[in-house]
Amino acid sequence: MALAIYIGRRLVFLVVALFGVSLITFVVTRVLPGNPAYLIVGVQADESTVEAVIERLGLDEPIYSQYGHYMRQVFSGDLGDSWRTKNPVTTDIADRWPATIELASVAAVLAVAWSVPFGVVSALRRRSLSDRLANVASGLGVSIPEFWLGIILILVFFFHLDLAPAPIGRSLGTVPPEVTGLYTLDSIIAGDGGALRSALAQLALPAITLAITTGAPLLRVTRGFMRETMASHHIRSARALGVPERSIVVRHALPNVLLPVSTMAAMMYGYLLGGTVLVEFVFAWPGIGKYAIDSINASDYAPVLAAVLLSACSYIIVYLIMDILHFIIDPRTRT
Amino acid sequence: MSAAARTAPPVLPTEPEAAGSGSVPVLDVVDLTVGFGSAAKRRSIPLQGIHLQVAAGERMALVGESGSGKSLTAAAVLGLLPDGAEVIRGSVRLDGEELVGASERRLRDLRGRRMAIMFQNPRASLNPVLTVGGQIAEVIRVHGEASRKESWSQAVDLLAEMGIPNAARRSKDYVHQYSGGMAQRAALAMALSCRPDLLIADEPTTGLDATLQQQVLELVVERVDSRDASLLLITHDIAVARSHCERTTVMYAGRVMESGPTASVTGDPRNPYTDALLKAFGTVEARRMYAIGGVVPTLTGELGECAFADRCPRAAPECRDGVPELRSLDDRRVACVKA
């Protein structure tokens, strides 16, 4: 019952947050200079043609009625059309989001896989080798810009060592028949080993880039929480009653650390799902981030709005799911 | 003082009234000296020449101000000194077995099974994400052959014994569902779960309501007695020592000042520090609260004089000639040249 109230409250929050995000984005895109009507009809078109297009798009209406019109559309499941691609935005997003989901998921798994265990181990002994290494790794990972890291990885692993394929999108070979839209899963479903290898090879560098930059803060947080927990009274008590060190770490300390760390990881994943603009751009990854950038450059309002809404939505929903899981797992929220 | 006097092995006074001559004390701490930092770069000596004997079935109070080294003594006994601290010299024996220099494996085996501890702030001493019963059951399993089921039913019995109502149900609860008093009962159940020979209770009632303090203390004493175990009760409250412990050791600035039967130590203190401490606790008749002048010295090196000399009303030049030896005097031991 408490859970139902809790979820209900969070869903209300979700709706309010999305309204806010949509309003801000809508106003910002409309007040920016650049008139899409010229982009549609071309600069050479005469005044009356431009006027006609402006009227057809409803750009002559006051901004609040434009917003109202847009929101009515959104609630009926229509995100408008892209003037650049000439497709409905929903179609464009359905084409591109799987690319982002795939990259974000692989990157998130890699990030958690290296940073959380490393953070836990490095916290166990101060000034140990792993502690020093963690210091260097988290310091570098936090301060290196991801687009620069991506370019360096391309330079080293593609250009010089020839270990990675060319950074030109999701696949060099045949694309597996679409089921989920994730090339890795689809090629497994199709039983196509070649396509799977190709998909993984294309994923490797962008995923590693993101795993390094998003794993670094996670490493820092994990190590901090682990240190704090290992110094807590209940760990001292357990130790003073002869509980073995392995159980101290795994049974007594880890659950206390993983609760807050998983929240951080979920926030990171939600952020990645909204499109990783710079990395997608560097690796020509045809995801939401690249779609948003291309649309901004073309003053294409509808896709930009949709991309921002999608980004906010995925962030809030992943966070909500993690919150609900905590509500179920953490004994302190049950009473 | 001469260097020779400082490093000479202390003369170990015989314990005049140790229970049954020839019997080995449960806890025998001799000349325990603990320092922070390495031998080359010693930062401080928080414990210097601690002597402490607790006989079988005996209740010993360890009394002193904050920072006098009571809790650090307990940590040294358990082999759980904080990072950077080490035993410089001296010995800690549990039932005759030397613990200084013992392997971590051996110490871990003894902790919880032969010597146990309960801390102040019981709710922080239990893990927030593990059930109370599960934590007790784990200690039982770690030190014995009990199965998961057996250890759990023992844990429930222990909780019931400590006065937790509905123990079977409450054992599945988490510490945030326990009140402070209940949590301390659970901590006591956990500490006594393997029938240790020695229970160290480190300020077990600090942070509890005044009405609960008496109850919890009585429970600790009663449950320790029923197991014929010994109790080392760490407290800053001399009244607690008086009402619950046969013997009392008074510490100041990392040294033992006086030790003996509680009635004599508190009724007829021979060390001016004990006297001052008693006055500070005062009685209602005293019109003004008594406070000891000055501050506790910082212990950056081994002392060459009585630690209390600067604040002592009876200080004399000879107090600065060396650290007063802990010597036998009638029914007790006192570290004061003027006693």
pLDDT of residue B230: 95
Chain B residues within 8 A of A254 when measuring between CB atoms: none
Answer yes or no: is B303 within a domain: yes
Chain B residues contacting A, CB < 8 Å? 78, 80, 83, 108-113, 116-117, 119, 121, 124-131, 135, 138-139, 142-143, 174, 176-177, 187, 190-191
pLDDT at B216 over 50: yes
pLDDT at B8 over 70: no
Domain of A209, in residue numbers: 99-290
pLDDT at B1 over 50: no
pLDDT at B3 over 80: no
Answer yes or no: is B292 within a domain: yes
Asked whether the beta carbons of residue A247 and residue B142 sit closer than 8 angstroms, the reply is yes
Residue B285: band (very low, low, confident or very high) from pLDDT cuts 50, 70, 90? low
The model's pLDDT over A107-153, given as tens digits with 9 standing for 90+, comes to 999 999 999 999 999 999 878 888 899 888 888 888 888 889 888 88
pLDDT of residue B301: 66
Asked whether the beta carbons of residue B128 and residue A335 sit closer than 8 angstroms, the reply is no
The model's pLDDT over A176-231, given as tens digits with 9 standing for 90+, comes to 777 777 887 778 887 777 777 888 888 889 999 999 999 999 999 999 999 999 99
Residue A22: band (very low, low, confident or very high) from pLDDT cuts 50, 70, 90? confident
pLDDT at B21 over 70: no
Mutate to test the interface with B, among A239, A241, A328 (most CBs of B within 10 A): A241
Answer yes or no: is A232 within a domain: yes
pLDDT of residue A166: 76
Search chain B and give the residue with CA nearest A326. B129
ipTM of the prediction = 0.85
pLDDT at B185 over 70: yes
Would you state the structure tokens that stand for residue A240, as one six-digit string? 């003073």
| Candidates A233, A238, A332; nearest CB to B124 | A233
Alpha carbon separation from B305 to A119, A283, B5 (Å, rounded)? 48, 74, 11
Mean pLDDT over the full length of chain A: 85
Answer yes or no: is A277 within a domain: yes
Residue B145: band (very low, low, confident or very high) from pLDDT cuts 50, 70, 90? confident
| Candidates B78, B131, B142; nearest CB to A240 | B78
**Contact at 8 Å (CB) between A102 and A182?**
yes
Answer yes or no: is B108 within a domain: yes
Residue A36: band (very low, low, confident or very high) from pLDDT cuts 50, 70, 90? low
Question: What is the C-alpha to C-alpha distance for residues B184 and B179, in angstroms, rounded to an integer?
Answer: 9
Would you state the structure tokens that stand for residue B198, as one six-digit string? 């020695």
Asked whether the beta carbons of residue B127 and residue A335 sit closer than 8 angstroms, the reply is no
B201 sits in which H/E element: strand B198-202
Q: What is the mean pLDDT of residues A84-95?
A: 88
Distance from CA of A154 to the nearest CA of B (A): 45
Alpha carbon separation from B289 to B66, B203, B267, B294, B314 (Å, rounded)? 18, 23, 19, 15, 20
The CATH number given to whatever domain includes residue B219 is 3.40.50.300
pLDDT of residue B52: 94
Of B46, B50, B4, residue with least CA distance to B27 = B50
Chain B residues within 8 A of A332 when measuring between CB atoms: 128-129, 174, 176
Residue A173: band (very low, low, confident or very high) from pLDDT cuts 50, 70, 90? low
pLDDT at B179 over 80: yes
Asked whether the beta carbons of residue B117 and residue A241 sit closer than 8 angstroms, the reply is yes
Answer yes or no: is A193 within a domain: yes
Would you state the structure tokens that stand for residue B212, as one six-digit string? 């609960």
Answer yes or no: is B151 within a domain: no
Would you state the structure tokens that stand for residue A138, as one six-digit string? 């988290």
SS3 content of chain B, % helix, strand, coil (to 5): 35, 20, 45
Answer yes or no: is B279 within a domain: yes
The model's pLDDT over B296-338, given as tens digits with 9 standing for 90+, comes to 666 666 677 888 888 888 888 888 888 888 888 888 899 988 7
Answer yes or no: is A219 within a domain: yes
Question: What is the C-alpha to C-alpha distance for residues A211 and A104, in angstroms, rounded to an integer?
Answer: 9
Chain A residues within 8 A of B144 when measuring between CB atoms: none
Asked whether the beta carbons of residue B127 and residue A242 sit closer than 8 angstroms, the reply is no
Answer yes or no: is B77 within a domain: yes
Question: Total domain count for chain B?
Answer: 1
| Candidates B126, B131, B191; nearest CB to A234 | B126
Answer yes or no: is A19 within a domain: no
Asked whether the beta carbons of residue A255 and residue B129 sit closer than 8 angstroms, the reply is yes
Residue B103: band (very low, low, confident or very high) from pLDDT cuts 50, 70, 90? very high
The CATH number given to whatever domain includes residue A174 is 1.10.3720.10
Answer yes or no: is B201 within a domain: yes
Chain A residues contacting B, CB < 8 Å? 126, 232-244, 247, 251-252, 255-256, 259, 330-332, 335
Residue B7: band (very low, low, confident or very high) from pLDDT cuts 50, 70, 90? very low
Answer yes or no: is B298 within a domain: yes
The model's pLDDT over A55-82, given as tens digits with 9 standing for 90+, comes to 777 777 788 888 888 888 888 888 888 8
Asked whether the beta carbons of residue A237 and residue B126 sit closer than 8 angstroms, the reply is yes
Q: What is the mean pLDDT of residues A5-21?
A: 85
Question: What is the C-alpha to C-alpha distance for residues A326 and A268, in angstroms, rounded to an integer?
Answer: 17
pLDDT at B11 over 60: no
Question: Total domain count for chain A?
Answer: 1
Answer yes or no: is A328 within a domain: no
| Candidates B78, B135, B177; nearest CB to A335 | B177
Answer yes or no: is A320 within a domain: no
Residue B18: band (very low, low, confident or very high) from pLDDT cuts 50, 70, 90? very low
Q: What is the mean pLDDT of residues B274-297?
A: 71
Q: What is the mean pLDDT of residues B231-241?
A: 91
pLDDT at B6 over 50: no
Could you identify the residue written with the tokens 């109202």? A68
Distance from CA of A109 to the nearest CA of B (A): 25
Distance from CA of A108 to the nearest CA of B (A): 26
Question: What is the C-alpha to C-alpha distance for residues B306 and B263, in angstroms, rounded to an integer?
Answer: 25
Asked whether the beta carbons of residue B127 and residue A240 sit closer than 8 angstroms, the reply is no
The stretches of A76-88 forming alpha helices (DSSP H) are none
Domain of B204, in residue numbers: 26-126+178-334
